[in-house]
Amino acid sequence: MEKTRYSDEELAEFRALITEKLEVATEQYNEIMDTMAKRNDNGIDDTLPTYHTLEEGSCTQTLEEQMVMAQRLQKFITGLKAALVRIDNKTYGICRVTKKLIPKERLRAVPHATLSIEAKLQQGK
């Protein structure tokens, strides 16, 4: 008989993994946001007489890169939080398309996954 959901022990294992990843991602997100906020703190950087246009462009590029990283982390954090909700509902690890269990190996690699590899490949076609 094929399993239809992960056991409470398996869900607890996934919860620990997700919680750890969530803490790390949240810390990274907060660091990026703090860094971006300090760029606009009106310190002495904008009053230096040697401030060049080239440097300004570099700062803008770095800020844009940080914004992209922050957006990716925010999406990852949202996915991890949704995975915790699915654990609470005991629906974690069930593919949205096939309704079969997503293999543990995939969930360990991508803990917020909602699609099996099979469904993901079908989606790409």
In this structure, is residue 109 part of a structural domain? no
The per-residue pLDDT for range 73-101, each reduced to its tens digit, is 999 999 999 999 999 999 999 999 999 99
Residues 6+ apart with CB under 8 A from 80: 18, 21, 22, 25, 111, 112
Mean confidence (pLDDT) of the chain: 86
Number of structural domains the chain divides into: 1
- 41: pLDDT confidence band, cut at 50, 70 and 90? low
In this structure, is residue 98 part of a structural domain? no
In this structure, is residue 120 part of a structural domain? no
Yes or no: say if 114 and 26 are a contact pair by the CB < 8 Å rule.
no
Res. 56: pLDDT tops 90? no
In this structure, is residue 45 part of a structural domain? yes
In this structure, is residue 97 part of a structural domain? no
In this structure, is residue 27 part of a structural domain? yes
In this structure, is residue 48 part of a structural domain? yes
Widest CA span of the chain, in angstroms?
Answer: 75
